[in-house]
Amino acid sequence: MGFGLRLFNASLACVMHAFLPGLFVRTGSEAIERLHDRMVVNRQRHGGANSGGANLVDVLRKSGTR
């Protein structure tokens, strides 16, 4: 399943959870965790910017931007 479809499914689970709190208690947050892990792995595999796991705050500090 593609990234966008997984994110869409997670959003539907979150909307359903908003109206029926007993349903989909962890579905949205688990989906976001998996998508985040997938992004990090792909970033590291492709050698993209920020592949070392540095967060935005660290990057801005090093550049002198606040």
Q: What is the pLDDT of residues 5-44, one digit of tens each?
A: 989 999 999 999 999 999 999 988 888 888 888 888 877 7
pLDDT of residue 53: 54
Q: Where do the structural domains in the chain lie, given as residue ranges? A: 3-63
Confidence of residue 49 (pLDDT cuts 50, 70, 90): low
- The model's pTM is 0.57
- Burial-class residue 28 by CB neighbours within 10 Å (0-12, 13-18, 19+): buried
What kind and span of H or E run contains 3?
Answer: helix 3-19
- 21 in Cβ contact with 27 (< 8 Å): no
First to last CA, the chain: 38
pLDDT of residue 38: 86
Q: Which residue has the higher pLDDT, 11 or 57?
A: 11
Region of residue 50 (phi > 0: left; psi between -120 and 50: alpha; otherwise: beta): left
pLDDT of residue 57: 61
